[in-house]
């Protein structure tokens, strides 16, 4: 933690100098400053480890893990599904809602700059960092710009019994037009490619949602397609490296949930100083843009984020009610998630045929603001519980 603070102080000192040049550099200078902070965030929060030759030892020509169950949903729970499969290999059997909660994956929102939408998720990479100790696991995140070393390391760690989680562009993986950050679990390889368990079995993936026992062959991706897909996500989100993957191994168990409540509360409330708006702030920003643009809002074109907001908030509510039954504050938070889900559903129903006039835009904005208020209140409940 002290090292992170030192990094931020160094970053702020340099940023002050950069700000003095903005009058000269204009937009270019601003972009450089944002890139600096973005890279600082990735390097401090993700704790990347540079791949070395020792991470790519000798391994057999083919190998497949036989102890990883395959969990896949129709809904966009790719990140928590990934962690659920890895934990199950370690004998940790928990419902998916537990992983959403520990990661904070569905307990926050992120603004999509320049678009009339938001994503009802938080950064999964920091979620993996935070959740691992509560599962008795240790997380390691490897990066490199060397494609050959990357492929060799994937094969080596698979041969050592590790399921390997990779973040990639789903559009590149399936030759689709839409770019979409995604998460897959590699479970095997041969000399030309890799076998993986798809986490979201819906088009264009050729699998069915559900749970399959360990040993299923999975889907197959050639080496170059995998490299392109991983690089695609790195490019999409501007990582300061080309290729990355995540491993989890046994570690010490953390049982105090106080920090989980606090972090999830902060994710819901928002208040990010740098980068896109977060939490309730992101939802309120969308409401303001809808009201401002009226019939030209375009919000109807971004159904996926709103649909995800409906089912993630309903699932959050169900998990909280079941896991913390009889605890009034958490039951109140569950009711607030249900209210937010109803608001998002009302928005979806309203924009099905576009936005007819300014009065309808105002109603949509009101539903979004009510959802934001509900999520902010839930966040405050979590923060109080964390204290």
Q: Is the model's pLDDT at 9 over the cut of 70? A: no
In this prediction, residue 117 carries a pLDDT of 76
Of 356, 307, 299, nearest to 115 (Cα)? 299
Q: How many CA atoms lie within 13 A of 262 on its CB side?
A: 7
Cα separation, 257 vs 240, whole angstroms: 33
pLDDT band at 111 (very low <50, low <70, confident <90, very high): confident
pTM of the complete model beyond 0.75:
yes
Q: Is the model's pLDDT at 5 over the cut of 50? A: no
Q: Which of the two residues, 142 and 31, has the higher pLDDT score?
A: 142
Cα separation, 120 vs 138, whole angstroms: 26
What is the token pair recorded at 187?
A: 């479970």
Length of the chain in residues, anyone?
387
Cα separation, 264 vs 374, whole angstroms: 14
Mean pLDDT over 219-236 rounds to 97
Cα separation, 185 vs 83, whole angstroms: 9
Predicted confidence (pLDDT) per residue in 10-61, tens digit: 443 434 343 343 344 454 554 666 777 888 999 999 999 999 998 898 999 9
**Residue found under tokens 């934001």:** 372
CB proximity list for 342: less than 8 A, separation 6 or greater: none
The per-residue pLDDT of the chain, averaged, comes to 89
Asked if the bond preceding 204 is cis, omega within 30° of 0, the reply is yes
Cα separation, 372 vs 386, whole angstroms: 21
- Three-class SS of the chain: CHHHHHHHHHHHHHHHHHHHCHHHHCHHHHHHHHHHHHHHHHHHHCCEEECCHHHCCCCCCCEECCCCCEEEECCCCHHHHHHHHHHHHCCCCCCHHHHHHHHCCCCCCEECCCCCCEECCCCHHHHHHHHHHHHCEEEEEEEECCHHHHHHHHHHHHHCCCCEEEEEEHHHHCCCCCCCEEEEEEEEECCCEEEEECCECCCCCCCCCEEECCCCCCEEEEHHHHHHHHHHHHHHCCCCCCEEEEEEEECCCCCCCHHHHHHHHHHHHCCCCCCCCEHHHHHHHHHHHHHHHHHHCCHHHCHHHHHHHHHHHHHHHHHHHHHCCCCHHHHHHHHHHHHHHHHHHHHHHHHCCCCCCHHHHHHHHHHHHHHHHHHHHHHHHHHHHHC
Of 140, 206, 143, nearest to 173 (Cα)? 206
In this prediction, residue 60 carries a pLDDT of 97
Strand 219-222 with 193-197, pairing: antiparallel
Predicted confidence (pLDDT) per residue in 148-171, tens digit: 999 999 999 999 999 999 999 999
Predicted confidence (pLDDT) per residue in 249-292, tens digit: 999 999 999 999 999 999 999 976 666 789 999 999 989 888 88
In this prediction, residue 11 carries a pLDDT of 41
In this prediction, residue 3 carries a pLDDT of 43
On whether the CB atoms of residues 131 and 153 are closer than 8 A, the answer is no
Residue 13 CB-density burial (10 A; 0-12 exposed, 13-18 middle, 19+ buried): exposed
Cα separation, 41 vs 126, whole angstroms: 10
**Residue found under tokens 């971004």:** 302
């Amino acid at each position: 933690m002290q090292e992170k603070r030192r990094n931020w102080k160094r970053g702020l000192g340099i940023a002050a100098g950069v700000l003095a040049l903005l009058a000269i550099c204009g937009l270019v200078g601003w972009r450089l400053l944002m890139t600096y902070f973005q890279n600082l965030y990735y390097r401090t929060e993700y704790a990347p480890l540079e791949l070395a030759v020792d991470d790519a030892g000798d391994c057999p020509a083919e190998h497949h893990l036989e102890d990883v169950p395959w969990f896949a949903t129709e809904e966009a729970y790719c990140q928590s599904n990934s962690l659920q499969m890895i934990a199950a290999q370690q004998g940790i059997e928990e419902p998916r809602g537990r992983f959403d909660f520990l990661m904070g994956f569905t307990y926050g929102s992120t603004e999509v700059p320049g678009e009339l939408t938001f994503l009802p998720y938080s950064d999964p990479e920091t979620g993996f960092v935070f959740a691992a100790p509560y599962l008795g696991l240790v997380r390691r995140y490897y990066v490199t710009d060397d494609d050959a070393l990357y492929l060799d390391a994937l094969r080596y760690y698979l041969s050592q019994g590790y399921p390997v989680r990779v973040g990639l562009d789903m559009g590149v993986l399936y030759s689709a037009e839409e770019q979409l950050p995604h998460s897959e679990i590699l479970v095997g390889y041969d000399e030309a490619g890799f076998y993986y368990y798809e986490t979201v079995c819906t088009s264009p993936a050729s699998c069915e949602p559900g749970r399959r026992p360990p040993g299923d062959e999975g889907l197959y991706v050639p080496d170059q397609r995998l490299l392109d897909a991983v690089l695609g996500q790195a490019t999409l989100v501007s990582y300061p490296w080309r290729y990355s993957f995540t491993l989890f191994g046994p570690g010490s168990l953390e049982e105090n949930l106080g920090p989980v409540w606090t972090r999830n509360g902060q994710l819901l409330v928002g208040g990010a100083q740098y980068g896109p708006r977060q939490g309730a702030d992101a939802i309120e920003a969308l409401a303001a843009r809808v009201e401002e643009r009226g019939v030209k809002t375009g919000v109807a074109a971004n159904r996926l984020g709103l649909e995800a907001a409906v089912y993630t908030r309903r699932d959050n509510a169900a998990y909280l009610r079941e896991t913390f039954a009889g605890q009034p504050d958490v039951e109140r938070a569950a009711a607030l998630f249900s209210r937010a889900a109803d608001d998002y559903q009302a928005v979806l129903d309203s924009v099905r045929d576009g936005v007819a006039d300014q009065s309808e835009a105002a109603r949509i904005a009101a539903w979004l603001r009510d959802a934001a208020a509900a999520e902010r209140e839930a966040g405050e409940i979590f923060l109080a519980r964390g204290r």
